[in-house]
Structure 1
Amino acid sequence: MGMITGAGVHGLMMLGGGIFRYPNDLFKPFWKYPLYYNSFHKYAYQGLFKNEFEKLTFSIDEAGGPTNISGKEILKNKLQMEMGYSKWVDVAILLGMVVLYRLLFLGFIKTVEKIKPIVTTFMSAPPKQTTQVMVNPSTAPLVRL
């Protein structure tokens, strides 16, 4: 069950993390606001792309002649990444998520350890009380002729 749940959460994080669609194209109520900002893929990809493209300059040939475009412009305009903070903030957010999720799952495990015996005692049926009728074996049964 843990493997299935982990794979499902990972799949949701991939879908909402901006891998398959740009962030502005995500459906707002579910995919953008809770899932996109909680997805660890978002911060991993933003940190990776900022590390690779932020300092680069690309030349493009247009009708007016060759011009240059910076990596920041590509990240901000084309890939729709948040450029208000550095790649190290993305790394810090990822490390914070690791610590938070570890503590969260530790809390789940400890809660289940405490509650499981209580639930099993309430869910188990009380022992049935049986009544036994003792027949005196020394007396013979009444026989009619």
Structure 2
Amino acid sequence: MGTRQVSRTAVIAASAEQLFELLADPAKHPLIDGSGTVRSSGASAPDRLSLGARFGMEMKMGATYKIQNTVVEFEENRLIAWRHFMGHRWRWLLKPLDDGKTQVTETFDWSTATAPFVIRLAGFPRKNAQGIEKTLERLAGMFPG
């Protein structure tokens, strides 16, 4: 993990395929978001994400706003990442385990951000670490073991 990355990992009692279907459906993102900022997918969002897909999200952090994302990494049932307009990425890595569970790592990667000083000044690394922890808890709650 680099100095401009925040990651957390959890083992979830679901297959990588089940988890990937959830992550690849932008309409489901509000269900798992632990930050409390994701409200809904935009009207033009595809039903299922793929490499290069663009999708908007309705957000709220104080004020409501919309953000456009582009899928920049995609490996079916293993890896998906999308980039915001300022260059930072949200990445999900899924590693199937022998017992049918999956090791899930979510990463906020701001090493590619166009204005990393803004991200640092706004306290996003700390806030996003907390949001990721809550997201993984919510995800685990959707698939009780």
Larger relative CO (CA 8 A, sep 6+): 1 or 2? 2
Higher helix share: 1
Give the number of the structure whose alpha-carbon radius of gyration is greater.
1
Normalized against structure 1, the TM-score is what?
Answer: 0.30
Higher strand share: 2
Normalized against structure 2, the TM-score is what?
Answer: 0.30
